[in-house]
Amino acid sequence: MVQNVSIEVDLESLEKENHIIGNIYFSIDYHRFFPDHRWSDFVVIILSWWIKSLKGLIISDAGKTFEFDFMDGTPIVLGKKIETNIVEMTFFFSAERRKEITVVCNISELRESLLSVSNKVLRIAKRNNWIDEELEELKDLVLSLERYPF
């Protein structure tokens, strides 16, 4: 059964020190959050990594697995392409890979969620006059994913 998986960023939590930090997490069927809805991390860097992983899933053959990393290496999220538009997402909370949950979702929905949240983060960065190389990379990756045929 295909489930809803989205990528969420608490936009109110965003702040810039050396990097843009804020709460970022996966929402599974609108009621489960991984790793947690208060997980604070380097939002722009992680969104860039996840776009690269998603692009890999889109172009790869079925059976190929990509990591959706967080900065510290744990928790771990693996996306395994099952069909053209289907990915199996496995969420691990520890380095020992103790499975937390596995879900199947649409790659296209994950793509739209990732694009939406990335664009929101970019708008907030622009509004706050935040400028750095990480934001420029995210802008380029968003444009690339938006224009990539799927």
Helix (H, G, I), strand (E, B) or coil at 98: coil
Close Cβ partners of 30 (under 8 Å, ≥ 6 residues apart): 4
Short-list 4, 7, 53, CA closest to 30: 4
46, 24 contact by CB (below 8 A): yes
Residue-level pLDDT, tens digit, the chain, 150 residues? 899 999 999 999 999 999 999 999 999 999 999 999 999 999 999 999 999 999 999 999 999 999 999 997 788 999 999 999 999 999 998 766 676 899 999 999 999 999 999 999 999 999 999 999 999 999 999 999 999 877
Give pLDDT tens digits for 59-71: 999 999 999 999 9
| The pLDDT value given to residue 90 | 96
pTM over 0.85, yes/no: yes
Give pLDDT tens digits for 109-121: 999 999 999 999 9
CA angle, 12 as apex, 125 and 138 as ends, to 5°?
30
CB atoms within 10 A of CB 124: 18
